[in-house]
Structure 1
Amino acid sequence: MPHLRLAPPAPTRPGVLLPARDLAIAWFLMVLLAALAWVLTVGQSRHMGMEPGTMGLALPLFLLLWVVMMAAMMLPSVAPVAITWVRGINRRSAGPARALRIAEFVSGYLLAWTAFGLLAYGALAVTGHLVDRDPAAGRWIGAAVFLLAAAQQFGPLKRVCLRHCRNPMFQLLQYSRFRPWAKDLRVGVHHGLYCVGCCWGLMIVLIPLGVMNVAAMAALAAVIFLEKLWRQGPWLTWAVGLAFLVLAVLAPFQDWLLPGLDTSGPPMGQMTGWTG
């Protein structure tokens, strides 16, 4: 009788449920989706200025643009958890039910970031109003935002949420205990809220740097990716916090650090492709 030879399991890293090969594929797919979102974001930024405030956008249009931006910046870093959860859906569902469950998970994740987008819109509206009244206020607004971002990098909420995001195994075990009703939607919202808790301090620096500042978005996306997936991510968190402290000190004296609070540029309505 022939002997059966079992292949050894594919190697995995601690805290990661996907084999290395599948994890690489997952990251590739998520990066591909993120790249499409980047194309849309960069294309839109070419037709928009970096004036303070909401750039003249109505709330629905701002939220649509915000969700695309979040997809571009966040998808690569959530690949391990998201793809592993979707694989679980694929094993338990088929056809329309599978598509619906995946859509619920993705919708839940983006819903969390949409909720944060509402807060971002309000913050931009307030800061834009203040800078319109007194352009010099932009220096102190920028300093305050950088200081708040630094405080978040060093704070307990950042540690808790980052630890959650860096441990996919713990997350997935926790999600398996969720009740069946709208489970995938709630998993998406739950994971999205942890991402918001981990990254909101990084996102608010787009107020002084410019919401449509593609270079700033790319740098922040790289920081988010490394914080969550790099072995030295927690040390990077502290380094970025120190950098924000330096920017907070320099902001009142260096206007070039605050392109998103500069009122000297042309209004967005005068940019190509946007009319009042």
Structure 2
Amino acid sequence: MQGIVRSGLWLGFFATILGAWWTMYAMSTSMGLDLLGRPGAMAQAMQGMDPRMDMAMPMARFGPLFAMWAIMMAAMMLPTLVPTLRSYEDLMVSADGTRGGWLGVSLGYFLVWVSFAAAIAALQLGLLFAGWIDMLGIATSRGLSAALLIAVGAFQFSRAKAVCHGVCHAPTLFFLGHWRRGCAGGLRMGLGLGAFCVGCCWGFMVLGFVGGFMNLAWMGLATLFMVLEKLPQLGHLVMKPLGGALIAAGVALAMGPI
């Protein structure tokens, strides 16, 4: 019976991820974008819209933007939770963990990222009405794109990144130091883990304003790097090289031909 419950929870977890990616694909194609975020005629028309004149457009209103970012958080961040949930399962017998606690960890983690979705949706609206990004959420100047790449790359070398990554990279240590029983305890631990995860990965989300947040190839690549950073044997090997690559890309973009 326990095996059936475990299998059902994991199947539901992965079904949620697949459903979120499918929804993102459906939203992207409905906006006239291909998998690389390249705009068709309809999307090009949206890019040229003035948000102050076209506030009825979904991308110029908080509600649709928040819903889009919340779905994106499920698609991009739930895959990065797999090593953490596996660590929780390893401790279930020795530390009196439960399937309710497993669900609590998942829910707490996702609630933090939903809160982040609200914050970045508000940021997107602010940047849109300031004219710094277009209606598709892409930076309107090469200078802003270069600055974002360099800033996120530099953050990869920071002490804050190292601390947050240390928790995400070794969730077992976090569980041992903050263990709480039951669903409520799992929820509390999930909230803590989610906060550290936001501190570790916020930059990859912000880079959506460079490559396009509806560019599924770009956001899929960001998801891949976030997953790699959290793998126990690999995470610490990719963090700084990735930061160097982002800085180099930002410098190249800033110094490229006008």
Residue matched to 2:106: 106
CA–CA distance in structure 1, aligned partners of residues 125 and 15 of structure 2: 33
Unmatched 5+ stretches in structure 1: 1-22, 257-276
User: Whole-Å Cα distance in 2 between the matches of residues 145 and 69 of structure 1?
Assistant: 20
Q: Runs in 1 of length 4+ with deviation above 4 angstroms?
A: 23-32, 49-55, 91-94, 101-104, 132-137, 178-181, 253-256
**CA distance in 1 between partners of 2:224 and 2:14 (Å):** 12
SS of aligned partner of 1:222? helix
Greater relative contact order structure (CA < 8 Å, 6+ sep)? 1
Question: Tell me, what secondary structure is at the counterpart of 1:46?
Answer: helix
Distance 2:88 2:236 in 1: 25
Identity %: 27
Q: 1:188-237: CA deviations, max 9, x gaps?
A: 21111111111011111101211111011110011011111052322311
Q: Could you tell me how far apart the structure 1 residues matched to 2:168 and 2:108 are?
A: 16
Query: Which residue number in structure 2 is paired with residue 168 of structure 1?
Result: 171
Contact 1:227 1:236 in 2 (8 A): yes
* AA matched with 1:45: S
Please give the TM-score of this superposition, normalised by the length of structure 2: 0.73
Q: Are the structure 2 counterparts of residues 62 and 106 from structure 1 closer, same or farther at C-alpha, using a change threshold of 3 Å?
A: farther
**TM-aligned CA deviation for residue 51 of structure 1:** 4.2
Give the aligned partner of residue 141 of structure 2. Answer: 138
Aligned letter for 2:72? M
Alignment-mate amino acid for residue 247 of structure 1: A
Mapped contact 1:139–1:255 kept (Cα < 8 A):
no
Contact 1:27 1:80 in 2 (8 A): no
CA RMSD of aligned residues (A): 3.7
- Would the aligned equivalents of 1:27 and 1:79 in 2 still touch at CA under 8 Å? no
Matched ranges for 1:250-265 at <5 A = 250-252=252-254
Q: State the aligned residue count.
A: 227
Instruction: For 1:43, give the aligned amino acid.
Output: A
- Kindly tell me: are residues 138 and 127 of structure 1, through their superposed partners in 2, closer, same or farther at Cα, counting changes over 3 Å? farther
Provide structure 2 residue ranges, at least 5 long, that are not aligned to the other structure: 1-5, 32-42, 52-56
Compute the displacement of 1:156 (Å): 1.0
Q: Which residue of 1 aligns with 2:21?
A: 38
Q: Tell me if the contact between 1:105 and 1:187 (Cα under 8 Å) persists in the aligned partners.
A: yes
Q: TM-score, normalised by structure 1?
A: 0.68
Which of 63, 66, 71 is equivalent to 1:68?
A: 71
